[in-house]
Structures are given as C-alpha cells and as structure tokens.
Amino acid sequence: MLRNGAAGGGPAAGGRAAARPVRVWCDGCYDMVHYGHSNQLRQARAMGDYLIVGVHTDEEIAKHKGPPVFTQEERYKMVQAIKWVDEIAPGAPYVTTLETLDKYNCDFCVHGDDITLTIDGKDTYEEVKAAGRYRECKRTQGVSTTDLVGRMLLMTKAHHSNICSTDIGHVDFLEKVHQLAEKPYIIAGLHFDQEVNRYKGKNYPIMNIHERTLSVLACRYVSEVVIGAPYAVTADLLDHFRVTLVCHGMTEVVPDKDGSDPYEEPKRRGIFQLVDSGSNLTTDLIVQRIIKNRLEFEARNQKKEAKELAVLEAMRRLEEEKH
C-alpha cells in the first residue's frame, strides 16, 4: 500500500560533533538475508556514522562454507535494501584484514558474538582483533541461514510446490512501488501465519509473523508495517491509513474464503495497480537450487557444526586450564 507523505528521519547517530564521521565495517555471506542479518547491521550502524558492508563472492563462500543459495548479485541487492546500510563493498575477502579496513577508511569492524571460521578452522577476524579494531554485537537467537535452508529442505522432502515470491522478489517489488510517488510512504500489510497457510499451502509461511515483521521493517523502502492485516483490503483499512494506492505483484490473486476478490474495494475506488517487479525469482526456483545442491548443503551444515563445536571445546579447555 502507498500513501503520500514524508517518511521522516531521526537525528544523527549519537549526536556526535566529531569532525570526521566514524566509519564502520561489516562483512559476511548474507545468504538468504533474514532479520538476524538486519539486526546485526542495525547494531553496527549505531556504533558509528557510516556503515559499509562487504559481501563475499560465490567463489569465496563455496570455498569456505559450501554453495550459497543466492548468487552474489542477488545478495548485493538484498543487503543494499537494508535501511541501515550506507554502502556495500562487492567481492569482500572472506578473511577480514587491516588492509581491507584501511582500503575503505573504516575505524573498526563489527561482527556478532558467534564463531566464523575459514576452511582450515581459523578465526576470520584474528588480525583485526589483535589490532584492537574489532567490536562485537549480540547475535540474534533463533534464526540463521542454516536454519532457513533446513526449513526449505523440509519443504522439498514433503514435495510441496505452492509457490510465492522470495526475499529478492519482495525487494524488487517494494523498490518498484517506492518509485511510484515523489514522496512515498509505503505501508506493508502482513497476514497472520494461519492466513498465509490457508492460501499458500502446508509448509507456508517459511518464516512466522514475527520473523516476517522484523524482516520487512528492515527494508529501506518500507515506512510502516501492519501486523495481521486482513486478507481483503477493506474500506475501513483504506480510510484509516488514508491510502491512495494499493499495489499487488504479478503473482496470482487467490480469492477470499467466500470466493470474493480481496482487492474489490480498491478497484472500485480506482486505486488498485499491478506492479511488475521485473524479477522472475520465486520460491520454486530457490527450492530447485537447494534440491540440486542438497547433499552439499547438508554436508556443509554438518561440517560447520563440527568446526564450531571443536572451537568451543578448545575454548572451554583453555578456561579450565586458567582456573
């Protein structure tokens, strides 16, 4: 949904009067971007004035972790759509070095309090930690790319094929909607899980309502989110939010429970518009990628867990030796 109005903005980070802005560096795979990534970048941006996010290439990820789900171009676009990101650095090296921080004139880098290892089990932030140019933020519990791949693998095992747009498709759609007005104020209505399940199929939604809300709120093209929006766009909803345009993508519009058109009211008012995102990337295509690389994905996850457990065990032993 779209209505006219200024989006508004907050004060400068921390209200600092420093002559030179503090530049912060984050890097990662950002594969299947989720609210955990967004929350990390939000915390990192709050530590400085300008946030640069380095995104690894497909080749680097495949070398150290296994095949990514999304291509590097898709991942660049998804990261750039996060509202706390000022700039992206495509093709960032997997191991973060002082050379990289200096190249982008960054004061320090920020990473979550989880473990990131190279293919040979070394800490990818070892050098910047030793130089005192490393900061840590809290990792968001309950979600990870590994977890989301697992959820989608469950879908392939159950042979579900009811299709919907994925993150990159939503980003493309919201970007196109954002371009429709000079001063756009985009309101995204999110349906409750039960409603999504009704019209999408057995294993949908992949993310629950809370996860979806956090993900959409992090998008730079979205001004506001309505949690539990009704499936049918009603007159009350349009009047309450003073909506001037209602947009839908090129995907099929499933009728409401009573067989009616959920967009009947905005169409009657002449404020309904179909928007072509220009993206043909669907959940079906993503699931096909996962099926193709299924054994590699599962092997990647097992290796990743084994490495992390080994590092945690080594850290535990060091602590015991100290005491």
Torsion, Cα 305 214 275 159, to 10 degrees, reads 40
Q: What is the pLDDT of residue 68?
A: 87
Q: What is the pLDDT of residue 311?
A: 66
C-beta separation of 184 from 322 below 8 A: no
Q: What is the pLDDT of residue 65?
A: 81
Q: What is the pLDDT of residue 279?
A: 85
Q: What is the pLDDT of residue 82?
A: 97
Specify whether the backbone of 267 is left (phi greater than 0), alpha (psi in -120 to 50) or beta: alpha
* Pairwise CA distance, residues 40 & 143, whole Å: 12
Q: What is the pLDDT of residue 89?
A: 98
Q: Which residues of the chain have pLDDT under 50?
A: 3-13, 156-166
The residue behind tokens 């004139």 is 105
Q: What is the pLDDT of residue 307?
A: 67
> Angle CA(227)–CA(230)–CA(236) in degrees, nearest 5?
105
Q: What is the pLDDT of residue 173?
A: 93
- The tokens of 180 are what? 């429709």
The per-residue b/e assignment along 144-176, b for 16 or more CB within 10 angstroms, e otherwise, is bbeebbeebbebeeeebeebbbbbbbbbbbbbb
Q: What is the pLDDT of residue 161?
A: 30
Query: Domain boundaries in the chain?
Result: 22-143, 148-274
**Can 22-143 and 148-274 be said to share one CATH topology?**
yes
* Pairwise CA distance, residues 80 & 26, whole Å: 13
Q: What is the pLDDT of residue 103?
A: 98
CA atoms within 13 A on the CB side of 72: 16
Q: Which residues partner with 90 through β-bridges?
A: 55
Biggest CA pair distance of the chain: 74
- pTM, entire model: 0.77
Question: Counting every residue, how long is the chain?
Answer: 323
Q: What is the pLDDT of residue 87?
A: 98
* Pairwise CA distance, residues 223 & 184, whole Å: 9
CATH domain 22-143 topology: Rossmann fold (3.40.50)
CA atoms within 13 A on the CB side of 120: 1
Helix (H) or strand (E) holding 300: helix 294-322
Q: How do residues 53-71 score in pLDDT, each as one tens digit?
A: 999 999 999 888 888 889 9
Q: What is the pLDDT of residue 163?
A: 30
Q: What is the pLDDT of residue 76?
A: 97
Residues with Cβ within 8 Å of residue 112, at least 6 apart in sequence: 40, 136, 137, 138, 139, 140
Q: What is the pLDDT of residue 113?
A: 81
- Cβ neighbourhood burial of 203 (10 Å; 0-12, 13-18, 19+): middle
3-state secondary structure 108-150: EEEEECCCCECCCCCECCHHHHHCCCEEEECCCCCCCHHHHHH
Q: What is the CATH number of domain 148-274?
A: 3.40.50.620
